Amino acid sequence: MAVSVLLVTLPSIPHVDIESLAHFDQVVAAGATSMEGWRVQSVDLSARTAELLGLNPMGSLFLGCVLEEKAEEWIREGGGLIFPAIPSLPFDSYRSRLYDADELYADLDQGYDATPDARIYAWSRQHDEKGDTSRTLAAALHDHAIADALTELPDDRPWIGVMGGHGVARGSTSYRSAVQLGRTLAQASHTVVTGGGPGAMEAANLGASLSTYDEAAVDAALTALAVVPSFRPSVAAWAATGLAVRGEYPGDGGVSIPTWFYGHEPPNVFASSIAKYFSNAQREDVLLRRARGGIIYLPGAASTVQEIFQAVTPNYYGDPATQVPLILVGIHHWTTELPVWPLLESLAADRPMAPHIHLVDTITEAATLVR
C-alpha cells in the first residue's frame, strides 16, 4: 500500500538584525509598522517607548535590551519575546560585536587584574567552581553571541589558520619566523586567523598587521617588543608593550579566536577582531571550521597537537571536495620531538586526505602550499 507524504512549506519570515540604536531609528524612519522577524540585540531603547508602541510586536525578539516597563508590557502582550539582561556579570552576554584589544585591556594602567579580560576570567573560574546554572546559561549566551558576530566578518579572502606554541618568546628566531609567515600570508591576500594567544600566535597576527610596512619597520617593531619577551611574570608589561607597538604601526592583524578556558594565556593585542569564547571546545571547532584555506602548524605542544587531530578527523572521513590543507612546519619537531607526522601518514594512507597533509621545514614552503 503506497503512502503519500504531504510536505508543508511554511512561509519564510525575513529576519532583521538590529544591533544599534541608530539602526533601530533607521528602520523605523523607513516606515516600518511591524517588528515581525526583528532580532534586537543589546540596544538601549529606554528613550524609544513611543516608537515601540507604534509598532506591532508580534514575532519580535529582544535580547538584553533596556526597555521601559510600558514597552515591555506592549511587546510581551503583543506576541514578542524578551530575554532580559542577566545581572551582575562582568560582560554583556548578548553583545552584538567581537572584542578588540582596547576593550579587553581597558584600565590596563591600573594593572592587568583591573582589565575586563582578567575580570571575566576570574568570573569564569567562579562559574567552574560553583556549577551555578545561571552562570552556565550566561556563558552559553555569550558564546552564541560571539559566534553570531563572527559570521558577520567578511570572508572575501581565504582564511588561513596559524597554530603554534604560546611559549615562543619575543626576540627569538622562532618568533621572527612566525611574524614573517603572517606577513607573507597577508601580503598574498589571505586573512590570518590564530588561536589568539601569545607566542607564535601573537607573532602571526603581528606579521599580518605589518604586511604593508617595510623591513625597517618590522625590525623596529620586533626590537621594541623584545624588551618584554614574555607575558610572564607581568601580563600588564607584556600587553602594554604590545599596545604601544600597535599604536606606532597600526594595521589589519586578522582574526584571533582565544578562550578564557586557558586563562593563563592572555590574548594578544595585534588581531583586529577577537572572538573570545568561554567554551574551548566550541572555540576550537569554530577556529578550525573557518580556516578553509588551510592550516599551518608551527612547533607547539599539547594544545597544538590537539588542534592538529581535530582538523585531521574531518579530513580523514571527508571526500576530496571537503579537504583542508594541513601543513606542519618543523621536520625535526614533528618527527622526533613530538612524532605526530608518522601517525598522520599512517592515517592518510589510501584516503582522500593523503595529498592534503604536508611536512615542511620553512615558512616559505608553508605559505606556498596554501596559495
Using CB atoms within 10 A of its CB, is residue 177 exposed (0-12), middle (13-18) or buried (19+)? Answer: buried
Q: How many domains does the structure of the chain reveal?
A: 3
Residue 44 one-letter amino acid: D
Cβ atoms of residues 261 and 278 within 8 Å = yes
* Residue at 10 is within a domain: no
Cβ atoms of residues 186 and 180 within 8 Å = no
pLDDT tens for 275-290 read: 999 999 899 889 888 9
Residues 115 and 236 in one domain: no
Cell of 95: 553583545
Residue 177 one-letter amino acid: S
Residues 166 and 142 in one domain: no
**Percent of the chain at pLDDT exceeding 90:** 85
Cα of first residue to Cα of last residue in the chain, in angstroms, is: 57
DSSP state of 370: H
Residues 251 and 311 in one domain: yes
Residues 39 and 108 in one domain: no
Does 77 have pLDDT greater than 70?
A: yes
* Chain centroid offset of residue 317 CA: 26
Cβ atoms of residues 207 and 178 within 8 Å = yes
What is the DSSP annotation of 282-346? HHHHHHHHH-TTEEEE-S--HHHHHHHHHHHHHHHHS-GGG---EEEE-HHIIIIIS-HHHHHHH
Which residue in 286, 289, 270 sits closest to 224, CA to CA? Answer: 270
Q: Using a CB cutoff of 8 Å and minimum separation of 24, what contacts does 317-321 make?
A: 318/352, 318/353, 319/352, 320/352
* Residue at 11 is within a domain: no
Residues 178 and 279 in one domain: yes
- Of the residues 129, 151, 173, the one at which a domain ends: 151
Residues 251 and 305 in one domain: yes
What is the DSSP annotation of 83-114? EPPPSS-SS-TT--S-B-HHHHTTTGGG-GGG
Strand 273-274 with 38-41, pairing: unpaired
pLDDT tens for 109-163 read: 999 999 999 999 999 988 655 667 888 899 999 999 999 999 999 988 999 999 9
- Give the pLDDT of residue 53: 98
Residues 164 and 138 in one domain: no
* Residue at 88 is within a domain: no
Q: CATH no. for residue 355?
A: 3.40.50.450
Residues 331 and 220 in one domain: yes
- Give the pLDDT of residue 80: 96
* Residue at 314 is within a domain: yes
* Residue at 27 is within a domain: no
* Residue at 30 is within a domain: no
Which residue in 288, 279, 296, 316 sits closest to 371, CA to CA? Answer: 296
pLDDT tens for 162-204 read: 999 999 999 999 999 999 999 999 999 999 999 999 999 999 9
Residues 359 and 256 in one domain: yes
Total-model pTM: 0.90
DSSP state of 252: -
Residues 292 and 357 in one domain: yes
How many contiguous H segments (helices) and E segments (strands) does the chain have? 15, 11
Domain range enclosing 179: 159-370
Cell of 112: 592587568
Cell of 180: 614573517
Residues 79 and 134 in one domain: no
Residues 146 and 167 in one domain: no
How many other C-beta atoms lie within 10 A of the C-beta of residue 2? Answer: 3
pLDDT tens for 226-259 read: 999 999 999 999 999 999 999 999 999 999 999 9
* Residue at 92 is within a domain: no
* Residue at 67 is within a domain: yes
Strand blocks (E) in the chain? 16-18, 38-41, 61-63, 81-83, 159-163, 191-194, 255-256, 273-274, 294-297, 326-329, 357-360
